Structure 1
Amino acid sequence: MKQPLHVKSEIGELQSVLLHRPGKEVENLTPDYLGHLLFDDIPHLPMIQREHDYFASTLRNRGIEVLYLSNLMTEALHTEKLKKQFVMDILKESNIQGASSQKIADFLLSFDTEEMVKKVMAGVRKSEIPLEKKKHLYEMLDNHYPFYLDPMPNLYFTRDPAATIGTGLTINPMREVARKRESLFMSYIIRHHPRYAESDIPVWLDRDYPCPIEGGDELVLSKDTIAVGISARTAAKAIEQLAISIFKRQAEIKRVVAVEIPKSRAFMHLDTVFTMVDFDKFTIHPEIQNKDGQMDIYILEKGKEEDTVKITHKTNLLETLKELLGLKDVALIPCGGGDVIAAPREQWNDGSNTLAIAPGVVVTYDRNYVSNKLLREHGIEVIEVISSELSRGRGGPRCMSMPLSRKDI
């Protein structure tokens, strides 16, 4: 049977991709809880859906299969037992206990499966369920918070909860509380959806691992080399454990390159400051390097003893990429042209967060015109998508997509 997951590069022709169309979870954002839910602003739902539809159509027009998270999840919960178990897992991970737990479960299970999945994503407001009179002090003091079940407005960034590497994937233990539940969807899909459940797909690192890792930090540079960012959202311990797991369970991937980037909201993941756009071309935000063009890079290879790795320290990104990928020359294309104003502005709006759909062909936000012009000057075909509302979530085309299958290069 053909493996349903197959990603052995960042730039191989994209065949199948997972998206999530923003839904009512976006309308459950309010100014008081933006920080808690990891947003800086409130997108306008009809417009963000229109922009996301444009993004999805752009991919389909290139012959790419677009799958939606809510549809796969609905199909994965194909028995009442699975549906009930999922609700119990969501409530447990949302720390919902006591007398209210059963009423919230009953409320969710009163919907058909498709609507239940959307309701879990959107969140459950307290006003939706009439509960008995509060008897405890802690219940009375909690009246100001409007949700029993928090909304998940970050779900349209499908890159982060799980990431395909080779013929397997990571189902990620995410750093922020607001996003931890998101990887539960992929856990159910991989294990219970008919398309995936019978394929014995390897999970290189699962969501119960105690240290965080997120898909925006995971890049497949070639069939034998992956890069992972040591970032604000991904811990070094998780990267080392991922390397050990991969080396133990397959033979093709031989190196995991850990790339340390500044730990800030602006530089959230490696793919917000560095992406691959062609065999020998990469976008980069210059500020991830010091004034001498140096940075900390660690190459992890299989150790001599079981469950160990050999680590080599490098400081020159350009030379390291040439060595790892067997290239004579590499072009690093600076976000915003490296300009003191354009570079940080366009990086904030994900000018470096390109989605390669084939070698030398990328999807980008239209608003990053300086970066897009520079990409074209380097011979890259740039397909622009509209981004007024999508960009408010602080993620670009790569963030919004989880490749499931690419052609080998």
Structure 2
Amino acid sequence: MDPIHITSEIGKMKTVILKRPGKEIENFTPRMMSRLLFDETPYLPIAQKEHDTFASVLKQYGVNVLYLEKMAKEALNHGGPQVKSAFLDRMLTESNYPSGVIHDALKEYLNSMDTQTMVNKIIAGVRKNELHIVYNDLASSVSDNPYPFYMDPMPNIYFTRDMSAFIGNGVSINHMTFAARKRESLFNELILNYHPMFEGQNIPVWRNRNHTYSHIEGGDEQVLSEHVIAIGISQRTTAKAIQEMAQKLFQKSSFNKVIAIQIPHNHAMMHLDTVFTMVNYDQFTMYPGILNQNDDINIYVLTPGKDGKIEYKHRTNLKQTLKDALHLSELDIIPTGNGDPIMAEREQWNDGSNTLTIAPGTVITYDRNYVSNRLLKEHGINVITVPSSELSRGRGGPRCMSCPVVRADI
């Protein structure tokens, strides 16, 4: 099988990339939370224990679990000193040190570590009190800025879904929206280019990270079938990015339909998969709050047109749009929190719709979303729950925490 093979959201999962939470999720203060896109400060030992349980469940179901941090180390070691130097230069440039005294000091500091320690340190962040920098001018050495980091931590990186998305036999390496997360996809680019699993495989890149104005994140990208993709127009994915990726997919892949779904642009519903996921051949979870008072939502169906152009159709009925695209006579949409206005909003905040399907009709969810979980079971879904008191503080669920690389066809 190809190193990348994703033709659905529900095919039996074979290989997945995770990132175990590390020092980065406790290496910030409440004053830094807004800057780093967090609402709370997680407790690392419990977060790690919960994540280990999540990984253990995947392994019990036969999934090959790979870890982003280990793959980055392996790619750097395989690539050699020049690749490591170039990677550090790019990471430092995107940390706002393209050159100069601080750039040189940080590069020397990071280069002095073994590769795995270096990768972990970049993710955890570099504090100012970790190294003494000798400045060559007064303006640089005298600073009123009390901010404690030279390089910010990356606490969101355990949500491996967002930095890249494997689609068909290719990948989108994502230009992410907020500064707090932009550097993360440098690891994905590194792994794709230099890890032995991918190197030399001529893997199609549907969209690279080198974009300035349009952005996309993996939580908005869902492969519904071998021909159909749903992408959220959200706080973190622009319509322009969707158009650009659709153009490439239509030209170079078997995908011939992109369903762009416009969801509210806010932190509570940052990605499509926080409000809508596929759990079986004809079953989906959905947070009812994305629909208007007439149960409508803005949908744009993109298909290949003449002369390489894209044709667009505007729709408003999500259920009928999905039935038409997937050639289904019936469709079961399961509402978050059983549609109760209080429970639905509570459980959506804790990712009640962010289900990870590991085989048709078998999903992993957070245990705290007991109303949604009970309803899924009533609709015939096999629900496997994992503990979530600390992982959920990052505003992401099991789908957010996983980046599938290979799934069986359905």
Q: Give the aligned partner of residue 143 of structure 1.
A: 145
Contact 1:17 1:403 in 2 (8 A): yes
Question: Is 1:12 aligned with 2:11?
Answer: yes
Of 238, 243, 248, which residue of structure 1 is paired with 2:246? 243
Kept in 2, the 8 Å contact 1:364–1:383? The answer is: yes
AA partner of residue 125 (structure 1):
R
Task: Provide the C-alpha distance between the structure 2 equivalents of 1:271 and 1:134, rounded to a whole number of angstroms.
Answer: 49
Give TM-score scaled by structure 1 length: 0.98
Q: How many residues align?
A: 406
CA distance in 1, matches of 2:81, 2:317: 54
Q: Which residues in structure 2 correspond to 1:249-260 (within 5 Å)?
A: 249-250=252-253, 252-260=254-262
Q: 1:1-400 to 2 correspondence within 5 Å? A: 2-78=1-77, 79-96=80-97, 97-133=99-135, 135-137=137-139, 140-210=142-212, 211-250=214-253, 252-306=254-308, 308-400=309-401
- Amino acid corresponding to residue 246 of structure 2 in structure 1: A
Give the distance between the partners of 2:136 and 2:402, measured in 1 at CA. 43
Distance 1:391 1:305, change over 3 A: same
Q: How far 1:136 sits from its partner (Å)?
A: 4.0
- The amino acid of 2:191's aligned partner reads I
Unmatched segments (≥5 aa) in structure 1 = none
Q: Which secondary structure state, in structure 2, belongs to the residue aligned with residue 238 of structure 1?
A: helix
Contact 1:230–1:236 (CA under 8 A) maintained in structure 2: yes
State the alpha-carbon separation in 2 of the partners of residues 248 and 191 from structure 1: 23
User: 2:7 is matched by which residue type in structure 1?
Assistant: K
Q: Any idea what SS the aligned residue of 1:132 has? A: coil
What does the per-residue CA deviation read over 1:288-324, in whole Å, with 9 as the maximum and x for residues that have no partner? Answer: 0111110111011112122x20001110001111100
Letter in structure 1 aligned against 2:116: E
Q: Distance in 2 between matches of 1:134 and 1:140?
A: 11
1:246 and 1:321 map into 2 onto residues whose CA distance is: 19
Q: Distance in 2 between matches of 1:290 and 1:197?
A: 46
**Percent sequence identity over matched residues?**
53
Q: Distance in 1 between matches of 2:269 and 2:34?
A: 17
**Cα distance, 1:133 vs. partner?**
4.9
Shift of 1:139: 5.2
Distance 1:165 1:114 in 2: 29
Alignment check: 8 A CA contact 2:50 2:391 kept: yes
Contact 1:162–1:172 at 8 Å: present in 2 too?
yes
Shift of 1:85: 1.1
Whole-angstrom CA distance in 2 between matches of 1:77 and 1:289 = 46
Q: CA deviation at 1:20?
A: 0.0
Aligned mates of 1:364, 1:392 — CA distance in 2: 15
> What SS does structure 1 have at the residue aligned with 2:160?
coil
Letter in 2 for 1:360: G
User: CA RMSD, aligned part only?
Assistant: 1.0
Shift of the alpha carbon at 1:138? 5.9
Q: Distance in 1 between matches of 2:138 and 2:372?
A: 56
> Is the Cα contact below 8 Å between 2:135 and 2:141 reproduced in 1?
no
1:270-303 per-residue CA deviation (whole Å, 9 max, x = no partner) reads 0000000000100000010111110111011112
What is the alpha-carbon distance in structure 1 between the residues aligned to residue 271 and residue 312 of structure 2?
A: 22
Question: Which contiguous aligned blocks of 4+ residues in structure 1 show a shift greater than 2 angstroms?
Answer: 133-143
State how far apart, in whole Å, the 2-side matches of 1:182 and 1:399 are. 14
Spell out, residue by residue over 1:328-357, the C-alpha distance to the aligned partner (whole angstroms, 9 max, x if none).
Answer: 110110000111210000000000000000
Aligned equivalents of 1:354, 1:278: Cα separation in 2: 11
**What amino acid maps onto 1:350 in structure 2?**
D
Q: Give the secondary-structure state (helix, strand or coil) at the position aligned to 1:7.
A: coil
In 2, the alpha carbon distance for the partners of 1:209 and 1:38 equals 21
The answer as to 2:405 corresponding to 1:407 is no
Q: Name which of structure 1's ranges 348-357 and 125-134 shifts more when overlaid on structure 2.
A: 125-134
Distance (whole Å) between structure 2 residues aligned to residue 136 and residue 212 of structure 1:
39
Look up the equivalent residue of 1:400 and give its one-letter code: M
Supply the distance in 2 between the matched residues of 1:202 and 1:209 (Cα, whole angstroms).
Answer: 17
Output the amino acid matched with 1:188.
Answer: L
Structure 2 SS opposite 1:271: helix
Distance in 2 (alpha carbons) for counterparts of 1:236 and 1:154: 24
Aligned residues of 1:134 and 1:140 also touching (Cα < 8 A): no
CA contact (8 A) 2:101 2:135 kept: no
Q: Quick one: distance in 1 between partners of 2:141 and 2:333?
A: 55
Give the direction of change, closer, same or farther, for the CA distance of 1:88–1:213 in structure 2 (3 Å limit): same
Please list the CA deviations of residues 187-211 of structure 1 after superposition, one character each: whole Å capped at 9, or x if unmatched.
0100111110121110000000231
